[in-house]
Amino acid sequence: DDGSTYDRFRGRVIFPVHNISGKVIAFGARMLGKDKNQPKYINSPETEIYHKSDVLYGLYQGKNAIRQHDVCYLVEGYTDVISLHQADVQNVVASSGTALTESQIKLIRRFTENITVLFDGDAAGIKAALRGIDMILKGGLNVRVVLFPDGEDPDSYSRKEGTTEFQKFLKDHAQDFVSFKINLHTKEIKNDPIKKSESLREIADTLSLLPDETRRAPYYRQVKNLLDIEEGTVINEVNRIRKKRESDERIKNTRDVLKESDQVIEGK
């Protein structure tokens, strides 16, 4: 503002952010010291060529491996991506600390329809995983989840275990979203019918996001077996949620049309 200049990323390690064709369009920077008055990460501001919600860190470097393996590992941060590359897992991208967006999901879909979400084992990581699962399913992709032990993240765990063990962990611990959600509540479900009912509603809500019945059908029996309830009950709950969502959407669209009509009349 006063005409002087300074280094925006001073005292930080800088991560260049590439677009899908390999051109650097922005930077992320992580603080090296422990100054509590400074944010841990600073990113380039939004510009005409950089919209954070439309970019995935590591996609340029990992797109060929994503095509080759037909799966994309999704992590949260820059260092997670780099650590996975060091563990010879190159089919990985990061949402760079932002909540996953529809634009980012469409980007991944250009290279694969399979996403495996890697998240920390703490409460915040689980919450983020649940949000990401629903958005990915809504985008029409297949999703699996790998949850790391409490206190670990992809970066720390890959360095701790080494390349071979880390790759084995990713393969052995990937689970479908239904198992993941049910396992979160397993202990509470067994002896509590209310918890079982809540879990059914939560899982049915997620299943209802799948775009067609052929994709939903295989999960009905799985939910039946895991929750020990009738398959018809699962189907009915999913259909109820879908009908309510469709009804809410129709009401919203009608209100929007009426609102636009009122504005036109007022404008005249």
DSSP 57: B
pLDDT recorded at residue 124: 67
Q: What percent of the chain has pLDDT over 70?
A: 91
Rounded to 10 deg, the angle between the 78-86 and 154-161 helix axes is: 20
pLDDT recorded at residue 116: 94
Half-sphere exposure of 70 (CA within 13 A, CB side): 1
Nearby residues of 195 by Cβ (< 8 Å), 6 or more positions away: 185, 188, 189
Q: 258 vs 141, which has greater pLDDT?
A: 141
15 three-class SS: strand
pLDDT recorded at residue 246: 87
pLDDT recorded at residue 267: 62
- At residue 127, does pLDDT exceed 90? no
Half-sphere exposure of 80 (CA within 13 A, CB side): 22
Residue 64: both structure tokens together: 């060929």
Strands (DSSP E) along 72-128, which ranges? 72-75, 92-94, 114-119
pLDDT recorded at residue 188: 61
Q: How far apart are CA 31 and CA 9, in angstroms?
A: 9
Rounded to 10 deg, the angle between the 177-184 and 193-207 helix axes is: 160
- At residue 190, does pLDDT exceed 80? no
The CA R_g of the chain, rounded to the nearest whole Å, is: 22
Sign of CA dihedral 89, 90, 91, 97: positive
Q: 7 vs 122, which has greater pLDDT?
A: 7
pLDDT recorded at residue 252: 85
Whether 139 contacts 112, CB under 8 Å: no
- At residue 58, does pLDDT exceed 90? yes
pLDDT recorded at residue 77: 86
Predicted confidence band of residue 81 (pLDDT cuts 50, 70, 90): very high
Residue 184: exposure state from Cβ atoms within 10 A (0-12, 13-18, ≥19): middle
